[in-house]
Amino acid sequence: MARGRARELLIEAGRWVVLVSFSVALAFPFYWMLITTFKQDGDLYNTANNPFIFNLKPTLVHLQVLFRDTMYLRWAGNTALVGALVVLITLLLSLPAAYALARLTGKWGERMGIAMFLTYLVPPTLLFIPLSRVVALLGLQDTIWSLVFVYPSFTIPFSTWLLMGFFKSIPRELEDAAMVDGLTRFGAFVRLVVPISLSGILTVVIFTFTLVTQEFVYALTFIAPERNQMVGVGVPTFLIRGDVYFWGELMAACLITSLPIALLYNLFLDRFIAGFTVGAIK
Amino acid sequence: MAIAPGSRSTPESRAWWLGQGMFYPAMIYVLAVIGLPFALAVVYAFSDIKVGSVGYHFVGLQNFKSILHSATFLRALYDSFIFTVGSQILVLVGSTLLALALEKKFRGRGLVRFLMLLPWVAPVSIGAIGWKWILDSLYSVINWVLIRIPILHLDKFNPPQWLGEPALAMASVIVVHTWRLLPFSTVILLAGLSAIPKDIPEAAEIDGAGFWRKMFQINIPMLLPILNVALLFGIVFTFTDMTVVYILTRGGPYDSTQVVPSLAFFTGVLGGDLSEGAAISLFMVPILVIVAYLMLRAANRSEIT
């Protein structure tokens, strides 16, 4: 009996060792951004100082420089604008498509759904060279419109897939009843199905937005001018002058960009997982 | 393609036509922005097109020939495999451990989940630049700690250059990418774990199976299908990624961390050699096709059971 108890304790201890060491390793860079943001340069760039504590008084100077003397706010604004427009395009196209796949197209639709999902596997690094040409031809080079045009190519497949699962969970009888009451099928979709799918739509909004902020390769390829950049490229490219990294400002920018996205994402995590694992778990 | 039912007036055929009309706008958009450039990439790869050049000259397999004879490309191909295999092994082992540890509910689980998700949620380029500071040549916090561990006998004035020496740079790139993918793989495995019927491990326990037996003969085998999904996504996300390499090392030192996608970027986008860049990027296609095939097989199998 005593041996069994000892074993149990050992397993429990092992569990905590794993949990604590992984959480620390995964979250450490963010802690490091936080402490770097508030340190004076004299403290940051002195190898004799213990880097884990404040050897000089904390300072807000990096944040001030970031907001006043760099284009950070401009990049954040660009990102928000591109995000909003891409969300709009994504919803307009993927809501009807997902409904069609869930209700109207049967077995063939199921296959098209899988085909659509597989396009999610085609990476930007395969397409950026010809797309840079297409973008230039359309006259969108160096503007955020190039991204508004290209980003839906990866947000639509994922959103359609998520929404399809969502629509399938709505009981068919609801629409049947509405159609008996005189609504057309499309009318039932617009007036009934879309309003009751608000939480699914919200999930798509959040994920489309995070996908837009996370994208790097297309923004780096299509846009050169500093003022038209997105946050994800502007921060690691333009907060560096030649070989000089402004670490205080850089880490401040990293921190303020990551935290809001992380908080939002965490709220909708479970739906997101469901999107990736449909088919594998049943 | 399915055949449209003959008469257009039945409710079924109306639904079918409506379905087509609602589905195709999305599909056409995606095909236009993914399919068309992909076809263009193939067209470019068989030409000598450069930024600013006019006209189209078909050159056959010339680009592929010259790529396969280029030491830089072969090195990048090799590095891509090391990068992918190395980080996927670390991700699989790490995420399995973490998912098993996170499975049971406990106080503070939400906080642990939030902390461990951060690397996946933060934009890649932002996380990578954070690591660049941690691995800095002069002010690396890792070196600060290592130098103060007496038994390591590190030279205080010549600490490890994490991003400046070929082997260390590759290791750093692998670790940073693992750091980024680990949360993704973990949440997928957690979803898989929660789907394992609880009565099976319990029955095994009553029959006298110990912790390790339960782990290796029940939990891990039952996780295999979902582990498979996590691995397939992981391979695609790693083999085609250039962000971590681009931010941390720009492919250096001496091309020791140059991977296929970053080489395509430097050749085709920065170098302006569209045809050779496109040809290089096409070398990723076989991997993608294999992964897509395996995913379809996995999806079909789960449909049958």
B205 token code pair = 């326990």
Give dist(CA A215, CA B131) in Å, integer.
Answer: 18
Q: Would residue A243 count as lying in a domain?
A: no
Q: What is the CATH number of the domain that holds A100?
A: 1.10.3720.10
Residue B2, pLDDT score: 47
Nearest CA in chain B to A36: B133
Distance of CA B182 to CAs A199, B162, B177, B209, B233, Å?
A: 27, 21, 8, 30, 12
Domain count, chain A: 1
Residue B8, pLDDT score: 53
Q: Would residue A56 count as lying in a domain?
A: no
Contact check, Cβ <8 Å, A133/B40: yes
Nearest CA in chain A to B157: A47
B93 token code pair = 């082992």
Chain A closest CA to B302's CA: distance in Å? Answer: 6
Residue B9, pLDDT score: 63
Chain B positions in Cβ-Cβ contact with residue A206 (cut-off 8 Å): none
Question: Phi first, then psi: what are they for B69, rounded to 5°?
Answer: -95, 0
Q: Does the beta carbon of B54 lie under 8 angstroms from any beta carbon of chain A? A: no
Residue B1, pLDDT score: 44
The C-alpha angle with vertex B270 and arms to B269 and B272, in degrees rounded to 5, equals 65
Chain A closest CA to B65's CA: distance in Å? Answer: 19
The tens-digit pLDDT sequence of chain A (282 residues) is 566 788 888 888 988 999 999 999 999 999 999 999 998 888 888 878 888 888 888 889 889 888 988 899 999 999 999 999 999 999 999 999 999 988 887 788 778 888 888 888 888 999 999 999 999 999 999 999 999 999 999 999 989 988 888 888 888 888 888 888 888 888 888 888 888 888 888 888 988 998 899 999 999 999 999 899 999 999 988 888 877 888 989 999 999 999 888 888 877 776 666 666 654 443
- pTM confidence score: 0.89
Q: Does the beta carbon of A63 lie under 8 angstroms from any beta carbon of chain B? A: no
Chain B positions in Cβ-Cβ contact with residue A108 (cut-off 8 Å): 1-2
Chain A positions in Cβ-Cβ contact with residue B1 (cut-off 8 Å): 108
Contact check, Cβ <8 Å, A276/B188: yes
Give dist(CA A146, CA A128) in Å, integer.
Answer: 12
Residue of B40, B118, B142, B231 for testing the chain A interface, max A β-carbons within 10 Å: B118
Of B18, B23, B133, the CB nearest to A32: B133
Chain B closest CA to A263's CA: distance in Å? Answer: 8
Tell me if A258 sits within 8 A of B126, measured CB to CB: yes
Residue A2, pLDDT score: 64
Chain B closest CA to A144's CA: distance in Å? Answer: 16
Span B249-255, mean pLDDT?
A: 87
The residue with greater pLDDT, B153 or B301, is B153
Exposed/middle/buried for residue B266 (C-beta within 10 Å: 0-12, 13-18, 19+): buried
Could you tell me the residue range of the domain that residue A143 belongs to?
80-230
Q: Would residue A241 count as lying in a domain?
A: no
Q: Would residue A247 count as lying in a domain?
A: no
- pLDDT at position B41 over 80: yes
Span B93-118, mean pLDDT?
A: 87
Q: Would residue A29 count as lying in a domain?
A: no
Question: Phi first, then psi: what are they for A230, rounded to 5°?
Answer: -90, 165
Give dist(CA A56, CA A260) in Å, integer.
Answer: 29
The residue with greater pLDDT, B224 or B74, is B74
Q: Tens of pLDDT along B217-244?
A: 877 888 888 888 889 889 999 999 999 9
Q: Average model confidence (pLDDT) for chain B?
A: 86
DSSP β-bridge partners for residue A240: A245
Residue A216, pLDDT score: 94
Q: Does the beta carbon of A256 lie under 8 angstroms from any beta carbon of chain B? A: no
Q: What is the CATH number of domain B70-304?
A: 1.10.3720.10
Q: Would residue A174 count as lying in a domain?
A: yes
Would you tell me which residues 104-163 of chain B have a C-beta closer than 8 angstroms to some C-beta of chain A? 104, 112-119, 121-134, 136, 138-139, 141, 144
Q: Which of A22, A15, A61 is nearest to A40 (CA)?
A: A61
Q: Which of A68, A86, A75 is nearest to A149 (CA)?
A: A86
Q: Which residues in B32-43 are b (16+ Cβ under 10 Å) and which e?
A: ebbbebbebbee
Does the N-terminal peptide bond of residue B253 adopt cis geometry, omega within 30 degrees of 0?
Answer: yes
The residue with greater pLDDT, B29 or B103, is B29
| In chain A, alpha helices (H) | 2-37, 41-44, 61-69, 72-99, 106-118, 124-137, 145-150, 152-168, 172-180, 185-188, 194-196, 198-214, 217-222, 231-238, 247-267, 269-277
- pLDDT at position B107 over 80: yes
Residue B111, pLDDT score: 84
Residue B33, pLDDT score: 92
Chain A positions in Cβ-Cβ contact with residue B18 (cut-off 8 Å): 100, 104, 185-186
Residue A80, pLDDT score: 94
Of B40, B126, B269, the CB nearest to A254: B126
Give the dihedral of Cα atoms A147, A152, A154, A156; nearest 10 deg.
170
Q: Would residue A114 count as lying in a domain?
A: yes
Distance of CA B225 to CAs B101, B199, B204, B301, Å?
A: 19, 19, 21, 10
B162 token code pair = 């994490």
Q: What is the 3-state secondary structure (H, E, C) of A199-242?
A: HHHHHHHHHHHHHHHHCCHHHHHHCCCHHHCCHHHHHHHHCEEC
